[in-house]
Structure 1
Amino acid sequence: MPQTICATVILARGGSKGVPGKNLRRVGGVSLIGRAVRAAVAAQSQSAVYVSTDDAAIAAEAQHHGAQVIDRPAEISNDTASSEAGWLHALPHVRADLPGLTHLTFLQCTSPFISADDIDACLAAVTQAKAACALSVVEDHSFLWGLDAQGLGVGQNHDHLQQRKRRQDLPPQYRENGAIYCVQADLFEATGQRFCGPVALCPVDQPPLEIDSLADLDLASTMASTTACGAPPAKALAQVRALVMDFDGVHTDNLVMTDQDGRETVMTSRGDGMGLAELARHSTIQRLIISKERNPVVLARAAKLGIEVIAATDDKVAALDLWLARAGLDWTQMLYVGNDINDAPAMQRAGLTACPSDAHADVVGHADWILPYPGGRGALRHLCDILVKIQEPLSDG
């Protein structure tokens, strides 16, 4: 059987009438283009990720999150150009890098909750069904209505003149959610259509939301802050045995107040503290604060939280090597939370990594999980709440 080689193409033009600068707007601390790119980069089935754009800022953001950029001509970058035109323009660029290309995956930035697993599943749906194409869909249990010749309502997927059925008794139906499309590259090129032959459906469990307005954007941001959307897979989080956290910019908002005598004070979050306490109560995850700071506030806060601390260290990797050995753990079992460039070496070694939404741009590229809150303002609470839900409780109490 020929090897499947698939690449992702994401269209992201600069102009947007409904939501100006839409593709750079943030949901859960990450731009819409960044969310799409990160999902595709994390998908095991994708050999490369490309963003086709006419906008320099979008191009820079896409590259920052791991995509290659294709310059999109002005004539297919306006709001009347079809998506197919953009994808067909990108195809020769992709083939030049991947001569054995068999499939393409198209992602829409306006669907902010695309996951790597969903992308892999959509490609699998094409290949397993021997279909020409596939798309992501959500189950729809709605009662659909239309108008008859007299303009009166008539049931479409139910007989409204008969006894009312239960929703679960309606015939199976699915709604296109506009997030993911997979196609056989040759058939797409020949037809110029995303539905280029027999179609496979890939049901996904994403929130059914597309960003078309500022209200949609606000709703997506709320959903990102209250759910595990954007978090690493539950199976990976269940393997975490050590939570290691930088201090400044993670436990704090990265600001410091200095008085005339040089004494420094910082702000921390009671909510973060409660989250860490709940994590200790419901799991066996070992917790550690590691900081290069020599300020006694680090030790005082760690003592208050009952968390082990390594302070005044300039080589975090070496310090963590020793700590892990003493704890009987290894780097693959660690979830490291950092916010700035001095955290990057440790983040490159850790099994999983996270950062607050306001982390330094260079750190974001190392993070598996961009938390939907800033440092010192709920980032750790969100992380701990998700871990508590996933980890097995120590007891029923």
Structure 2
Amino acid sequence: MTHDLVTDPSAAPRASTGSVCAVIPARGGSKGVPRKNLRLLGGEPLVARAVRTVRASSTIGAVFVSTDDPEIAAVASRAGARVVERPAGLAGDEASSESALEHALAHLASHGVVPDVTVFVQATSPFIRASDVDRAVALVRSGECDVAFSAVRSDVHLWRHGTHGPEGVNHDAAVRQRRQDREPEHAETGAFYVMRTRGFREHGHRFFGRLQIVEVDPAEALEIDTEHDLALAELVHSRRETVLNPLPSPIRARAVVTDFDGVHTADRVTVDQDGVESVEVNRSDGMGVARLRRAGVPFLILSSETNPVVRARAAKLGVDAVTGCDDKLRALTDWADGIGVDLADVAFLGNDVNDLACLRAVGWPVVVADAHRDVRAASPIVLRRHGGDGAVRELADRVLAGHEARPSDDLVTPTEGQRP
């Protein structure tokens, strides 16, 4: 595996008093949901979503992903995590999360990285809030406890099969108490566990010493163990996106330019047995581009990659393409000049730091939902959709809404763009 970024001690962050590291175990195998850690939610792999969320924490200094899988390693690395290669013996169905965590911490320690506090995060809990993790870290660092973990309040009456039939577990079956009269109970969510590193390494399990529950919103507590859970998570994600941004404003651009990798695709290229590269593209994105063409809106795919897949996709869509360019801004400017459109009237859709120059130059800078955080910060318009999950279609819809809303001779200033 070529993504182990902590084999060189000088490349790893050094531990210091009060240091906090996060470890995300993410093996390649899974029985309930095949390739679970790479499955997409809102167009983003679960492991990448976990890395992005944890990196948003104000208390965690570095994020490590422990995996036996090269593809997971590549995705985690692109999301900003450092990768620890997990031995095959610790990646089977019988291997515990503790064993992966112990191995990762031992590996880090061998390179002088010994955090005071370790945050153990599950990639299969997709709605974790960084602020909840920070609350747990604060409890441990303040000395209030040795371990803090996520849980939700539960009012469920539990039963088990007894010798003489069903019997109550957490209640007296003969006395039916009202919910408000029962002692509070909590169900562990499995999303995150924050612990003193020394205590974990001494005891070998996640529940040692003084424990504290960090109560989280039940809406954030979904854990993905089955295909049904994943489908439910997609519904929750879509609903949340709609509530956060129910009426996206039109984008009154006269031309559209997009990056390719991470915009038209989920930023993943696969290679078949003959060494031929291919990418997965969203069918609805093609429909959006077709509608822009019919409306007479010029469209350019601009990529620094030399992959022939990019030109093949542009040819299929019937749009212009510039590939393998070292200076994307110059290529963008030349194309806009060639079609007679001012940069102030161009919408540029990007996702990575090499798009920053173009985003800053155009009147309508737009990024996909899973864009690099520095890129998100530079753009006033953030789409609901992730790259490869309908982002191009969403942009097309908003450009067409703006195109239809204005007279043909109306020059709209770029300050009318949406500010989230």
- Per the normalisation by structure 2, the TM-score is 0.62
Residues in 2 aligned to 1:77 and 1:345: alpha-carbon distance in whole angstroms? 31
1:311 aligns with 2:348: no
1:131, distance to aligned residue in structure 2 (A): 1.6
Question: What residue in structure 1 maps to residue 382 of structure 2?
Answer: 354
Per-residue CA deviations over 1:295-329 (Å, capped at 9, x if unaligned) read 9x9x9xxxxxxxxx931589542556xx9xxxxxx
Give aligned pairs, total. 310
Does residue 169 (structure 1) correspond to residue 151 (structure 2)? The answer is no
1:16 aligns with 2:30: yes
Q: How does 1:195-214 map to 2 (within 5 A)?
A: 195-205=207-217, 206-214=219-227
The aligned counterpart of 1:61 is 75
- Normalised by the length of structure 1, the TM-score is 0.66
Q: CA deviation at 1:168?
A: 2.6
Amino acid of the structure 2 residue aligned with 1:155: G
In the TM superposition, 1:210-225 aligns within 5 A as 210-225=223-238
1:186-335 mapped onto 2 (5 Å cutoff): 186-205=198-217, 206-228=219-241, 247=256, 253=285, 256-257=289-290, 264=296, 310-312=344-346, 316-318=359-361
- Give 5+ residue unaligned stretches, structure 1: 232-236, 268-290, 300-308, 324-335, 361-371, 382-390, 392-397
Residue pair 2:199, 2:208 contacting (<8 A) in 1 also: yes
C-alpha spacing 1:316/1:34, structure 2 compared with 1 (3 Å) = closer
Deviations 1:305-361 (A, max 9, x none): xxxx931589542556xx9xxxxxxxxxxxx63259xx989936527763454527x
Cα pair 2:128 2:221 within 8 Å, conserved? no
State the partner residue of 1:305.
Answer: none
The answer as to whether partners of 2:368 and 2:391 remain within 8 angstroms in 1 is: no
Q: 1:182 aligned to 2:210?
A: no
| Cα offset, 1:142, TM superposition | 1.2
Contact 1:317 1:345 in 2 (8 A): no
Alignment partner of 1:376 out of 373, 393, 409 = 393
Query: What is the rounded CA distance, in whole Å, between the counterparts of 1:90 and 1:56 in structure 2?
Result: 16
Counterpart position of 1:157: 170
Question: In 1, distance between residues paired with 2:362 and 2:374?
Answer: 10
Shift, 1:28, TM fit: 1.6
Per the alignment, residue 277 of structure 1 pairs with none
Conserved? CA contact 1:104–1:185, under 8 Å: yes
2:366 to 332, 337, 341: 337
Is the alpha carbon distance of 1:312 and 1:337 closer, same or farther for their aligned partners in structure 2, counting shifts above 3 Å?
closer
What is the Cα deviation at residue 244 of structure 1? 8.0
Q: Distance in 2 between matches of 1:124 and 1:377?
A: 40
The equivalent residue for 1:281 is none
For the pair 1:41 / 2:41, whether they are aligned, the reply is: no
Distance of aligned partners of 1:147 and 1:349 in 2 relative to their CA distance in 1, 3 Å threshold: closer
Alpha-carbon offset, residue 225 of structure 1: 0.7
Cα displacement (A) at 1:378? 8.6
